[in-house]
Amino acid sequence: MTGSRILIVEDEPAILRGLKDTFVSKGCEVVTATDGEAGMHLALSAKPDLVLLDIMLPKINGYEICRAIRASGSDVPIVMLTAKGQEEDIVLGLNLGADDYVVKPFKIRELVARANAFLRRHRAAPEEVFRFGDCALNLSAHKLFRGGGEIELTAKEFSLLAYFASRAGRALTRNDILNAVWGNSVMVTPRSIDRCVTTLRAKIEPDPHNPEFIRTIRDIGYRFEA
């Protein structure tokens, strides 16, 4: 994380100061903005490695910034700083291209851990074989192995698992998943995802009723934890 450039867009002085001090102490270069206009400008010009983005901001809100970053073609990780009890806002932000969120008041240590994971992943090249638990997903061979034996997956289960693997650690809405895995197919509903998740869990989870890899995020969607 040392040497990474972090953009923090936050209009609450105490939160901004706390975040800035923390990331500076980790050796990061920290760029800050206290309103949406300055935040938008920096997001598009400062080439940050990670963006911590408040939603309710003076002038331009965080959603618009999120949208503009993705419209510019950047895939920089974006973590939204959101207020409590606003699941719909979180879903909106994730659908606009944010990767994750923390709910205020958040634990700084948790946010740092999450930031660290994003920074590592952003730099690492995509791997051919993705490992989690006792499973190995071979992306080029389209095969899943568990404990040495091959596990049969349907085409949709494979696509879903490959998508989860490529977005590990990120909060994914049902809408994200539907678009990425099912595309424009008209016969699918969010329930189709839930059904596919259920069959996939039965194949990869040590305890499908208490999943450790494919986690449900209530009212939002799923998060794959490797």
Q: Which residues, 45 to 84, sit near Ca ion by CB under 5 A?
A: 54, 56
Residue 114: which residues within 8 A CB-CB, separation 6 or more? 79, 100, 102, 169
Q: State which residue, 56 or 168, has the beta carbon closest to Ca ion.
A: 56
Q: State which residue, 64 or 205, has the beta carbon closest to Ca ion.
A: 64
Q: State which residue, 56 or 217, has the beta carbon closest to Ca ion.
A: 56
Q: Nearest approach, Cβ of 47 to Ca ion (angstroms)?
A: 24
Candidate segments 10-18, 127-135, 143-151, 187-195, binder of Ca ion by CB under 5 A: 10-18
Candidate segments 5-13, 26-34, 145-153, 193-201, binder of Ca ion by CB under 5 A: 5-13
Q: Are 79 and 99 contacting, i.e. CB atoms less than 8 angstroms apart?
A: yes
Q: What is the dihedral sign for C-alpha 157, 159, 160, 163?
A: positive
Q: Nearest approach, Cβ of 59 to Ca ion (angstroms)?
A: 12
Q: Which residues, 11 to 30, sit near Ca ion by CB under 5 A?
A: 11
Q: Nearest approach, Cβ of 148 to Ca ion (angstroms)?
A: 51
Q: What is the rounded distance in angstroms from the CA atom of residue 148 to the CA atom of residue 171?
A: 30
Q: State which amino acid sits at residue 192.
A: S
Q: Are 135 and 153 contacting, i.e. CB atoms less than 8 angstroms apart?
A: no
Q: Are 138 and 128 contacting, i.e. CB atoms less than 8 angstroms apart?
A: yes
Q: What is the rounded distance in angstroms from the CA atom of residue 224 to the CA atom of residue 216?
A: 9
Q: Nearest approach, Cβ of 55 to Ca ion (angstroms)?
A: 7
Residues that bind Ca ion (CB under 5 A): 11, 54, 56
